[in-house]
A and B are shown apart, each in its own frame.
Chain A
Amino acid sequence: MNIDWLNFTPWSSLAGGALIGLAASLFVVANGRIAGISGLMGSLLQRRSEGAIEKALFLLGLLIAPLVWGLFATLPKIEFQSGWLGLTVAGLLVGIGTRYGSGCTSGHGVCGISRLSPRSMVATACFMFSGFATVFVLRHLLGG
């Protein structure tokens, strides 16, 4: 294994992770809800959505985060690796997959593991595995 020390950012990643954990904690402790982004979005896309205002406000906060960040500092680097075709295929798979799998990195990976849910542990193992495998195939087998 070859670790990329130059791009390794332990402190900001730990601090950012702690902030994510704090946000998920606040949402469950105050609102009694799981901060799972795909679940919140999917629920709002359905005709009858329970607690739609709270869910929409959570997503609004998430949406304007870069604008709030921009008031105090320059935004961190955001670089894409895919063209429109890759982005479209990826988006479709993420949309369908997270709905069938009942969650994504936030709902299963952070909240689910934190409440020791076996379903979330299995889900997280699955998407981590296929994420690693996909990058391996695309970068090292197909050499893209």
Chain B
Amino acid sequence: MIKLSAFISGLLFGLGLLLAGMANPTKVLAFLDVAGAWDPSLALVMVAAIGVAVGPLTWARQQSSSLLGRPMQLPSKRELDPRLVGGSLLFGIGWGIAGICPGPAVAIVFTGHWQVIVFMLAMLAGMLLFTALETRRTH
């Protein structure tokens, strides 16, 4: 059951990204281009997603386990540190260059575009680099 719900969640997430237009880098860049011909569609994606998720996530904050009896694992970190700000700023620069963020990157791997493979390999390399630097830092 726990495996099925994980799979269904991922599948619905991907179908949502495709339907929303988030999986099209040209549309994402048109949203980020406020000074050009601005396509505000993707703001509505955020509005609808948050509108649907705010209830269940508020419920989740008050629970210690999920409906299927799993521990509720919500992030507990509170402090606003330079890593959060710096990392997010870097992410935004990458997002603004290609118009691809991690979810859509995964969701369009199997659509036959070479570009997403290049992006995906570079993104995985970036994540591995982070892990390597972190391991060095903590040892």
Q: How many A-B residue pairs have CB under 8 A?
A: 497
CB-based contact B109/A127 at 8 Å: no
Mostly, the A contact residues are: helix
B91: contacting residue among A7, A14, A19, A101, CB under 8 A: A101
Let me know if A115 and B89 touch, CB within 8 A: no
Size class of A's contact patch? 35 or more
List the interface of chain B (C-beta within 8 A of A).
1-3, 5-27, 29-30, 32-42, 44-61, 65-68, 70-75, 77-80, 83-103, 105-111, 113, 115-116, 118-131
> What are some 26 contacts across the A-B interface (CB < 8 A)?
A2-B38, A4-B37, A13-B45, A14-B44, A19-B16, A19-B19, A20-B49, A21-B16, A21-B53, A26-B5, A30-B70, A42-B127, A60-B7, A62-B11, A62-B13, A62-B103, A87-B100, A88-B119, A90-B119, A100-B83, A106-B101, A115-B74, A130-B89, A131-B95, A135-B32, A139-B35
